[in-house]
């Protein structure tokens, strides 16, 4: 049993909390920064932290009677000036009380509070917050990033749109309110495997308002598309990892429409969904204290001299010392019917693939995506065969019903046979696709099939034609993320994959992959 005092201050909310493991009670004291105009100004946010942190800490100390076993604080990611103020306060308090110090990753805390309040053993987590948006899954002692934003966090993206309208921060609740009176208009929808991008849709939304589209319609459509993207990639992460549990984290998770979409998706695929109480979704010290207590009980504390903050502290950099090995998920061979993220696949002498309507998506958007992806899959699957890539023969296409009939290929998914030579074959196949001028779009171990002497690529539904090296590198990035979440020896397999791609394709694509991996969107 332990009592941990947590301090949070990564960007806009100065917060302190006390967590008592004996009662599972969390007391939170917070003072939020409210900019007079625009978004968060780092200097003003730091000034707010300097004034508010002592006040919230004092209130929690009084409630605790200074009976505290450890002090936990958010080391990052976040705004450097704010993080340093919080760290200084935590060090001083730990010294005063003569208790250990625990450094917490803010994004892992979002995940762990969902795991704690749900009781789920091994969920996938969608973190949807201001400066971040990513999917996390546990594998081999760390939380692996299965997919993430390629440009900006979801909350910041929405705020950029609302600043264009001269609305005050935060913009999310205002978009949610206006959306209640809106109707659907067409906006961009961009997913690449389990990754996603918001820059295009935000630019289009600004332009739509400037062109006279009612702001209520733009807000409604922003929610439908942005949250539809997040729900789709969450379902893809559940499918790739064979998980049947999803938790939500981050301040954007307070949006009722996002929670509704995720709940509907999980219900339709037989998975469990949990969204913590709103006080644990927005930035708060409660989640810092809860994870801090877990880490303290595991002996995961830090010395004062090792407590430097990290504004770009990624969740996959954290050794998860407090968890045992994740339970094995059952994979019952090759069943007659397989539910993927996008479609229901029926296996017989031939393979029938049905893109059934998604209840969580707006009907107009859903029909467009199902039709476009069915046509693309049929066309590019055949195009890949002409480029020398082993793919199934397409026997029939019904784009009105979003159905395809294929040759049955391979004996199992690649994830059942993740060895170097098979991974090298996938690299060579992707290089051939790229040389022919298109990307696969979703090259995961579930979307390759292994036979006795061949590895096939399947499921080209997210494929598109391009000559951009960035797009080719994104194909490699999607495969690398999927490997990290499904393979025990992901690093060595990724090395072999990249070596084979360099030999068969354009080496500058791998160089561009390094640039993509270095993008940390935490500001």
User: What pLDDT score was predicted for residue 465?
Assistant: 97
| pLDDT (mean) for 214-234 | 98
- Is there a catalytic annotation at residue 151? no
3-112+281-317 matches 337-517 in fold: no
User: What pLDDT score was predicted for residue 38?
Assistant: 61
Beta strands in 348-447 (DSSP E): 350-354, 394-398, 403-407, 412-413, 438-439
CATH fold of 120-276 reads Nucleotidyltransferase; domain 5 (3.30.420)
Residues 3-112+281-317: name the CATH superfamily: ATPase, nucleotide binding domain (3.30.420.40)
How would residue 79 be classed by pLDDT, with cut points 50, 70 and 90? very high
| pLDDT (mean) for 207-232 | 98
The residue ranges of every structural domain in the chain are 3-112+281-317, 120-276, 337-517
How would residue 521 be classed by pLDDT, with cut points 50, 70 and 90? very low
- CATH class in words for 337-517: mainly alpha
Mean pLDDT of the chain: 93
As a whole-number percent, the residues of the chain with pLDDT over 90 amount to: 85
pLDDT digits (tens, 9 = 90+) for 152-202: 899 999 999 999 999 988 899 999 999 999 999 999 999 999 999 999 999
Instruction: State the DSSP H helix or E strand holding residue 126, giving kind and residue range, or none if neither.
Output: strand 124-128
| pLDDT (mean) for 499-506 | 98
20, 217, 366, 442: the catalytic one is: 442
Phi, psi of 180, rounded to the nearest 5 degrees? -65, -20
User: What pLDDT score was predicted for residue 341?
Assistant: 87
Sign of CA dihedral 297, 19, 61, 90: positive
- Side-chain half-sphere exposure of 293, counting CA atoms within 13 A: 26
Q: With 90 as the cut, is the pLDDT of residue 381 above it?
A: yes
Contact 215, 136 (CB under 8 A): no
């Amino acid at each position: 049993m332990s009592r941990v005092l947590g301090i949070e201050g990564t960007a806009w909310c100065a917060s302190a909390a006390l967590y008592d493991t004996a009662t599972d009670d969390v007391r939170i004291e917070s003072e939020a920064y409210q900019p007079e105009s625009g978004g968060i100004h780092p200097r003003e946010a730091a000034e707010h932290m300097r004034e508010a942190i002592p006040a919230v800490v004092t209130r929690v100390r009084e409630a605790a009677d200074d009976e505290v076993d450890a002090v936990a604080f958010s080391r990052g990611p976040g705004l450097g000036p704010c993080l340093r103020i919080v760290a200084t306060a935590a060090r001083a308090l730990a010294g005063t009380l003569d208790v250990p110090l625990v450094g917490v990753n803010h994004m892992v805390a979002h995940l762990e509070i969902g795991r704690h309040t749900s009781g789920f053993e091994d969920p996938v987590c969608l973190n949807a917050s201001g400066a971040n948006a990513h999917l996390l899954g546990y594998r081999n002692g760390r939380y692996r990033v299965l997919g993430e934003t390629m440009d900006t966090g979801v909350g910041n993206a929405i705020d950029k749109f609302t600043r264009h309208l001269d609305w005050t921060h935060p913009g999310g609740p205002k978009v949610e309110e206006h959306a209640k009176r809106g109707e659907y208009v067409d906006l961009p929808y961009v997913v690449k495997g389990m990754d996603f991008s918001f820059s295009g849709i935000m630019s289009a939304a600004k332009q739509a308002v400037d062109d006279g589209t009612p702001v209520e319609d733009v807000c409604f459509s922003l929610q439908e598309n942005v949250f539809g993207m997040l729900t789709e990639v969450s379902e893809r992460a559940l499918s790739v990892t064979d998980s049947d549990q999803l938790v939500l984290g981050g301040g954007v998770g307070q949006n009722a429409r996002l929670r509704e979409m995720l709940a509907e998706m999980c219900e339709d695929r037989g998975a469990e969904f949990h969204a913590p109480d709103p006080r644990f979704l927005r930035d708060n010290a409660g989640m810092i204290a809860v994870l801090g207590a877990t880490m303290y009980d595991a002996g995961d504390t830090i010395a004062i001299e090792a407590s430097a903050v990290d504004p770009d502290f990624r969740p996959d950099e954290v050794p998860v010392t407090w968890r045992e090995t994740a339970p094995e998920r059952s994979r019952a061979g090759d069943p007659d019917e397989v539910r993927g993220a996008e479609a229901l696949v029926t296996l017989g002498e031939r393979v029938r693939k049905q893109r059934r309507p998604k209840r969580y998506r707006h009907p107009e958007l859903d029909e467009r995506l199902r039709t476009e992806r069915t046509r693309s899959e049929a066309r590019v699957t055949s195009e890949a065969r002409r480029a020398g890539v082993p793919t199934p023969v397409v026997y029939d296409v019904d784009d009105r019903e979003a159905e395809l009939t294929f040759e049955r290929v391979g004996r199992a998914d690649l994830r059942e046979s993740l060895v170097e030579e098979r991974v090298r074959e996938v690299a060579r196949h992707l290089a051939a696709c790229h040389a022919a001028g298109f990307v696969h779009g979703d090259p995961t171990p579930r979307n390759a099939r292994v036979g006795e002497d061949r590895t096939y690529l399947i499921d080209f539904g997210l494929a598109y034609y391009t000559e951009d090296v960035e797009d080719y590198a994104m194909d490699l990035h999607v495969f690398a993320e999927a490997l990290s979440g499904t393979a025990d020896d992901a690093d060595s397999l990724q090395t072999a994959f990249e070596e084979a791609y360099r030999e068969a394709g354009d080496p500058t694509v791998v160089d561009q992959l390094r640039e993509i991996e270095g993008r940390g969107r935490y500001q």
